[in-house]
Chain A
Amino acid sequence: KAGVTQTPRYLIKTRGQQVTLSCSPISGHRSVSWYQQTPGQGLQFLFEYFSETQRNKGNFPGRFSGRQFSNSRSEMNVSTLELGDSALYLCASSPRDSYWGEQYFGPGTRLTVT
């Protein structure tokens, strides 16, 4: 099976712009989670989607949003970008709908905000 794919892999944006990142989970996986990783804060949970519904949300401002489509693919959007949003954004899919077992992470999208 193909792994989790994320596009784009690298992105440079200017402060104030918005950005959309895409994630395609492993075939058959219906739960998709997003994480932000920075040197200062480490890996932080953004949100989790299942059946096109956000089921869990981390402690991030409303500028961070996401959605999931009927084919389980997911997108996350960050509006009004700030310098502090520069990070590696990771997507993970899980084969288990209801349990935090093994998660499969994608390679991430590295976002740089200038």
Chain B
Amino acid sequence: LAKTTQPISMDSYEGQEVNITCSHNNIATNDYITWYQQFPSQGPRFIIQGYKTKVTNEVASLFIPADRKSSTLSLPRVSLSDTAVYYCLVGTMIKAAGNKLTFGGGTRVLVKP
């Protein structure tokens, strides 16, 4: 399983773009990168998933360089409601025995008015 490293916390202001970088130096060929968001006292919510280059949806963008040793989650124009913990997960997509999703420590993002 690829180990991930992400900042413990980040502060931002409403309307700004927030970029959270996750390092995963030993990512394997078959590994995907997935990001989840978690609000206090709630279960995590899937944000985005990608394998290489750039993925964008209505919520965020995920940038993955060619070497795939890191990835950046970009949240455009954040609001107070984006204050949450963001988790970067790296692993194989296949639900075979022994494969499980591993959540790291996450990045606590605080959006200020």
A joins B in a complex: yes
B104 touches A (CB below 8 Å): yes
**Given A45-B100, A45-B102, does the pair A100, B95 have CB atoms closer than 8 Å?**
yes
The residue that A103 contacts in the complex, of B32, B41, B97, B101, with Cβ under 8 A, is B101
> Bound state CA distance, A107 and B41, in angstroms?
7
Q: How many A-B residue pairs have CB under 8 A?
A: 69
Contact partner of B94 among A35, A43, A100, CB < 8 A?
A100
Question: How many angstroms between the C-alpha atoms of A92 and B34 in the bound complex?
Answer: 15
B102 near A50 (CB under 8 angstroms)?
Answer: no
Contact of A108 among B41, B46, B92, B95 (CB under 8 A): B41
Q: In whole angstroms, what is the CA distance A38 to B106 when docked?
A: 13
Decide: A97 near B46, CB < 8 A? Known: A42-B105, A43-B103, A108-B41. no
Known: A42-B106, A55-B95. Contact between A100 and B101, CB under 8 A? yes
CB distance from B106 to the nearest CB of A (A): 7
Known: A43-B87, A102-B46, A105-B45. A56 touches B94 (CB 8 A): no
Question: How far, in whole Å, are A40 and B83 apart by their CA atoms in the complex?
Answer: 21
Which of B44, B45, B93, B105 makes the CB contact (< 8 A) with A100? B93
* A-side interface residues, number (CB < 8 Å): 30
Query: Could you say which of B42, B43, B45 has the most chain A C-beta atoms within 10 Å of its C-beta?
Result: B43
The docked-state distance in angstroms from the alpha carbon of A35 to that of B96 is 18
Which of chain B's residues has its CB closest to A96's CB?
B95
Interface string of B29-48 (1 = CB under 8 A from A): 00010100000011111100
A92 to chain B, nearest CB (A): 7
List residues of chain A with CB under 8 Å of any chain B CB.
4, 31, 33, 35, 42-45, 48, 50, 55-56, 58, 88, 90-92, 97-108, 110
* B residues at A contact (CB < 8 Å): 32, 34, 41-46, 49, 87, 91-106
